[in-house]
Amino acid sequence: MHSLKLFTKGKHIMPFAYSTFEYNMFNIRGTVPVFQFLSLNPSGSQSMSNINAVGNYLATPVEFTIVPPPGYIIVLNHATATVRDAGKFASGNYGKDIELINGISIFFGVPGVSALQRPITAPNVPIMTNPDWEIYSMDTNLSNYGVGEEQLCAQWRVDNLGRQVILDGDDGTGLIMRLNDDFSDLVKHYFHVQGLLIKKKGD
């Protein structure tokens, strides 16, 4: 059975953060770095068709996810969202001129199982415009490199939360970006994470 591990700190609940005792149960030997894009394939296929979130998802929402394999955890350290479009970004649109209807919602939990997902974005405040990334990220930057396409990058430094955020392969828990709009006019649209993949002790 899936379970959501929570650590309560004051009035704030931080998903999938283990206690020091629980963390020491993991065997850090064999730890490898993770530099991976969220993918339409839960197993983590990094083909361009699975990681570039450029398409029309208005009729049927899709989830770009990362989930560790059974017997492993992923300790998240850093995450980024990158939006690239051909033209000047507008504050009231997404990318250059996309008008979103439903937007982007972010969750921790089990992909495809809404009952086992906890929202990061507020249910009534999805990401609808370029500036909306600033609501949920710790740092945003808009670059045009002098000429051509512009690119927006939103970053989260998870270690700034003061507690590790962990995805558990045995629970099937992952980081989820749910898209429910037409993003087909974008040039590139990526969600990327960095962290550590750790094999659980005894596995």
Domain segments of the chain as ranges: 38-70+77-160+172-193
CB 38 within 8 A of CB 62: no
> Structure tokens of 62?
């899709």
The whole-model pTM stands at 0.82
Among 84-88, 116-120, 156-160, 164-168, the minimum mean pLDDT is found in 156-160
Distance from C-alpha of 130 to C-alpha of 15, rounded to nearest angstrom: 26
* Beta pairing, strands 6-9 & 72-85: unpaired
Distance from C-alpha of 146 to C-alpha of 81, rounded to nearest angstrom: 21
pLDDT number for residue 165: 81
pLDDT number for residue 45: 78
Residue pLDDT, tens place only, 102-137: 999 999 999 989 888 899 899 899 999 999 999 988
| Beta strand extents in 68-187 (DSSP E only) | 72-85, 104-109, 117-119, 139-143, 150-157, 165-168, 174-179
Distance from C-alpha of 168 to C-alpha of 66, rounded to nearest angstrom: 11
83 pLDDT higher than 60: yes
**Of all helices (H) and strands (E), which one includes residue 133?**
helix 133-136
> Structure tokens of 103?
């937007």
Strand partners, 180: none
